[in-house]
């Protein structure tokens, strides 16, 4: 009678140790990204009812990017921004910004993070500035709080000039237009030279022409200072002006649009957009796939748009 069963394994102890070492030394998810959110979860409890605002969200943002986050009301994008700004703490998962662990910081480290690592611009223009200070004084205040009093006046002048509002340096907020207030707010957010600038609907209370001026200020900060900028917006004009737009739906990233400029044989430029659905490692719609990480983003079916905008898109579905 012949015995049946599993053949003995040829794997040696040395081989197992080698595999374990290789697995341990493998780069972690988002190791080269400035912002890395890995399976981020945020649960709120109200009157005994749990609401899961973020449901395992993944996001990578590289240093120097200017990108937009879009999504319907309640999708989780504002919750994500509050976490990245250090104003809220996730329930589970991992989040790192410029090497800072957003789950492991104590109160003192979180305050230092908000002063030195991130800048923030709110939608409400009045929320960004102190009404009894001039534009230049508002810009200088974050530097004073950080202990950089010597350079604050010069730095404030430089930022206001870069954003095209040097002439209003001695005016108080009530003497400024909405667009001027938001550009001063951008200067305030940039005062301590943060690694990341976050903006929550910064053009939401402005008309389209003024909104274009404010977005131009963000672009100038990105190009001249190299600041990484993440903008939450419902404004399609703003979303279409950045190279990368990430859509959030039901607490997870659902799709991503990458834009690039191409030049044809006749020397004519056209903007090409390609949309990707985010797939998790099981193949379901999720958020892995940003910048070629495991669980690649799957391009949707082709569609050629009218005019210079052409690209890849397809029928949207639930993640």
Domains of the chain in sequence order: 52-235 (3.40.50.300), 251-312 (no CATH)
Mean pLDDT across the stretch 257-268?
A: 82
Whether the pTM exceeds 0.85: the reply is no
Q: Is the pLDDT of residue 178 over 70?
A: yes
Q: Is the pLDDT of residue 6 over 80?
A: no
Residue 95: φ, ψ to 5°? -145, 125
What pLDDT band is residue 296 in, cutting at 50, 70 and 90?
very low
Question: Which residue matches tokens 């707010």?
Answer: 185
Q: For residue 205, which of 188, 186, 182, 183 has the smallest C-alpha distance?
A: 182
What pLDDT band is residue 148 in, cutting at 50, 70 and 90?
confident
C-alpha–C-alpha distance, residues 127 and 19, integer Å: 54
CB-neighbour burial class of residue 8 (10 A; exposed 0-12, middle 13-18, buried 19+): exposed
Q: Which tops the pLDDT comparison, 308 or 169?
A: 169
C-alpha–C-alpha distance, residues 160 and 169, integer Å: 7
Q: Is the pLDDT of residue 285 over 80?
A: no
Mean pLDDT across the stretch 244-270?
A: 86
Mean pLDDT across the stretch 60-70?
A: 94
C-alpha–C-alpha distance, residues 222 and 22, integer Å: 38
Residue 58: φ, ψ to 5°? -120, 140
Q: Is the pLDDT of residue 8 over 70?
A: no
Mean pLDDT across the stretch 170-197?
A: 95
Write down the pLDDT at residue 280.
Answer: 55
Q: Is the pLDDT of residue 70 over 50?
A: yes
The set of residues, in sequence order, having a beta carbon less than 8 Å from that of 86 and lying 6+ positions away, is 102, 105, 110, 113, 114, 117, 118
3-state secondary structure of 17: helix
Write down the pLDDT at residue 312.
Answer: 34
């Amino acid at each position: 009678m012949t015995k049946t069963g599993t053949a003995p394994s040829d794997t040696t102890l040395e081989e197992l140790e080698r595999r374990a070492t290789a697995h341990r030394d493998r780069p972690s998810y988002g190791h080269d990204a400035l912002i890395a959110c890995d399976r981020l979860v945020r649960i709120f409890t109200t009157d005994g009812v749990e609401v899961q605002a973020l449901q395992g969200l993944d996001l990578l943002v590289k240093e120097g990017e200017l990108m937009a986050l879009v999504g319907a009301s309640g999708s989780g994008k504002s919750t994500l921004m509050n976490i990245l700004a250090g104003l809220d703490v996730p329930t589970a998962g991992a989040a790192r910004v410029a090497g800072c662990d957003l789950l492991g910081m104590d109160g003192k480290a979180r305050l230092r993070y908000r002063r030195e690592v991130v800048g923030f611009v709110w939608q409400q223009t009045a929320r960004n500035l102190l009404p009894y200070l001039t534009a230049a004084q508002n810009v200088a205040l974050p530097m004073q709080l950080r202990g950089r009093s010597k350079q604050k006046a010069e730095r404030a002048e430089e930022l206001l000039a870069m954003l095209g509002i040097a002439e209003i340096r001695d005016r108080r907020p009530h003497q400024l237009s909405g667009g001027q207030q938001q550009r001063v707010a951008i200067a305030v957010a940039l005062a301590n030279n943060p690694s990341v600038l976050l903006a929550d609907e910064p053009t939401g209370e402005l008309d389209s022409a003024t909104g274009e001026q404010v977005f131009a200020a963000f672009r100038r900060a990105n190009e001249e200072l190299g600041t990484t900028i993440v903008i939450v917006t419902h404004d399609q004009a703003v979303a279409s002006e950045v190279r990368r737009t990430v859509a959030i739906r039901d607490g997870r990233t659902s799709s991503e649009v990458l834009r690039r400029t191409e030049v044809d044989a006749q020397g004519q430029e056209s903007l090409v957009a390609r949309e990707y659905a985010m797939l998790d490692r099981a193949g379901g719609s999720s958020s892995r796939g940003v910048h070629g990480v495991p669980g690649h983003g799957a391009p949707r079916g082709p569609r050629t748009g009218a005019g210079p905008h052409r690209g890849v898109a397809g029928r949207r579905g639930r993640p």
